[in-house]
Chain A
Amino acid sequence: MRNRLSSPWFVVGLGLVTTLTLSGCPEIQHVAERAARQSGDERLARAIHGTGQLIGGLLPIGPEEEESIGQAIALQVIGRYGGVYGQPELTRYVNLVGRAVSLTCDRANIEYRFAVLNSETINAFAAPSGYIFVTRGLLKAIQSEAELAAVLGHEIGHVTQKHILDVIQRSKQISGVAEAGLAYASRNPDAFKNVIDGAVKKLLDEGLDQGKELESDRLGVVFASRVGYDPTAYLTFLNRLRSIKGDDRAFFKTHPNFSNRISVVQNALREQGVKPGGALLTERFAQRAGGRL
């Protein structure tokens, strides 16, 4: 019996598919697939088809896809957290602080946008493509602009490290949608909904992996300190939250405990050589945010 895997057709076909798929010509992939099928080699046709899908599924998510995913997740975050708080001046202030921090983050070339959620709970979220949210309750717990800068820096860290996109690409739910992963999802609105719902569940209900949260803690203080904010403000804030939240199980379902976070931030400051000192801007925060909450 002839081994089809070693046949010239197979070798040429796979080479052709790999080359053409990687150069972004799926039409030609279909031509190769049809040619293999017409030659009677169904196995090769399936291999060409499968290889192309696999490559498409494994390649990173592009900027337009990221924007679609970010918008869809933002819709759910706003819907589940009481809508956007209608205070234009407060929104503008949060955006200015966030934009200042984002200017020197590790992914400064995307547009970061910030909104305040009309919720008393203490929380913040980041969706892909720079959609970042803080709750009104969180702003009430903050006492200086440096603390706000570090909190926004933490959320920016989730975006720079593409934490949600990583969740999506690793998701079994997506690989279960089709072998092609996002390929199928982006062409099928129902599948896209499954992808987003899975990501929202992870973000809002289950929480990201603790490693991702701690990585964002480290990045948050580094980004804020690059702009000139006092990095120790974040430690002050975490200590305050620890006293407010105590051992609130609901909160720790989605976040590492505060002692762990404080320790990680202290280590990061030491390892990065970030020295205490810098701007706190307590009064500016009180003037531009305090009275509007």
Chain B
Amino acid sequence: MVHRVRLNVLLAACLAGLAFAASTLAETVYVTAKTAQIRSGKTSLDPVVANLQYGQELDVVTREDRWIHVQTTSGAKGWIYSSKVSSTKPPGTENELAALGQRYRRGDPSVTAAAGARGLDKASEGYADRAGITQQHRDAVDRMTGYRILDEEVQEFLKSGRLGEYAE
């Protein structure tokens, strides 16, 4: 009886050890594309299972050709095109050190804060005044700053050129 209990304890310990080893050996990748989805199959025509965010962590289940079968932390499983992930975490917008430096250096918050969703901010407007930049060139940078192309348009462009995940 005692032997059986010991055996069970040993077996449980081995299973726990295996589970731990499996969890630590699991490959993790991070989403490096601005927008990405996981799909139910290995083609761009398969239905989207979940939309992913830049920097999101994914566990690799298996790799086949240029597609990777992954699982999100919430448990969703699907396929993602390999060029949309990386084994290293991409730099985030929330780079704490940079934000801290900016906060520290910015005595007057209005100096560098963007004047609006688009257009020159106060620092570059002040530069334009001092450097004698013409209104025409200010307008050009203003338009450039506000220039927007929707992610869906880029996806359509990739699709029509059979690029990225639409290549296969």
Once the chains are docked, how many angstroms separate the CA of A110 from the CA of B93?
A: 8
- Interface window among B57-65, B71-79, B118-126: B118-126
Are A108 and B54 closer than 8 Å at their CB atoms?
yes
- CA of A109 to CA of B31, assembled, Å: 11
The range of chain A's interface size is: 35 or more
Q: Enumerate B114-168 residues with CB–CB distance to A below 8 Å.
A: 114, 120-121, 123-124, 126-131, 133-134, 136-138, 140-141, 143-145, 147, 149, 153-154, 157-158, 161-164, 167
| CB-based contact A56/B104 at 8 Å | yes
Whether a CB of chain B sits under 8 angstroms from the CB of A103 is: yes
Residues from chain B with a CB closer than 8 A to the CB of A58 are 101
A76 interface hit (Cβ, 8 Å): yes
Contact bitstring A32-72, B, C-beta under 8 A = 1, else 0: 00000000000000000000100111111111110110011
Q: Is the interface of B mostly helix, strand, loop or mixed?
A: helix
Instruction: For A56, list chain B residues within 8 Å (CB).
Output: 101, 104-105
By CB atoms of chain A within 10 A, which of B95, B97, B145 has the most?
Answer: B145
Q: Nearest CB to that of B163 among chain A residues?
A: A228
Complex CA gap A92/B149 in Å reads: 8
**In the bound complex, do residue A64 and residue B114 qualify as a contact, i.e. CB atoms below 8 Å apart?**
yes
Q: Contact: A115 with B144, CB < 8 Å?
A: yes
Chain B CB within 8 A of A22 CB: yes
Tally of chain B residues near chain A (CB < 8 A): 61
Tell whether, in the assembled complex, residue A187 and residue B108 are in contact, meaning their CB atoms are under 8 Å apart: yes
Complex partner residue of A279 from B86, B112, B144, B161, CB under 8 angstroms: B161
A229 interfacial by beta-carbon distance below 8 Å: yes
B161 A281 Cβ-Cβ under 8 A? yes
- Separation of A52 and B104 alpha carbons in the complex (Å): 9
Contact B90 A108 (CB under 8 A): yes
By a CB distance below 8 angstroms, the chain B residues around A192 are 123, 126-127
| New A-B pairs, 8, CB < 8 Å, besides A55-B104, A68-B124, A84-B144 | A67-B112, A75-B127, A79-B133, A100-B164, A109-B54, A187-B107, A189-B130, A228-B161
| 0/1 interface trace, chain A 71-86, chain B, CB 8 Å (1 if under) | 1101110110001100
The one of B101, B112, B141 that contacts A60, using a Cβ cutoff of 8 Å: B101
Q: Say yes or no: A104 contacts B104, CB within 8 Å.
A: no
B87 at the interface (CB under 8 A from A): no
From B100, B108, B136, contact of A24 by CB (8 A)? B100
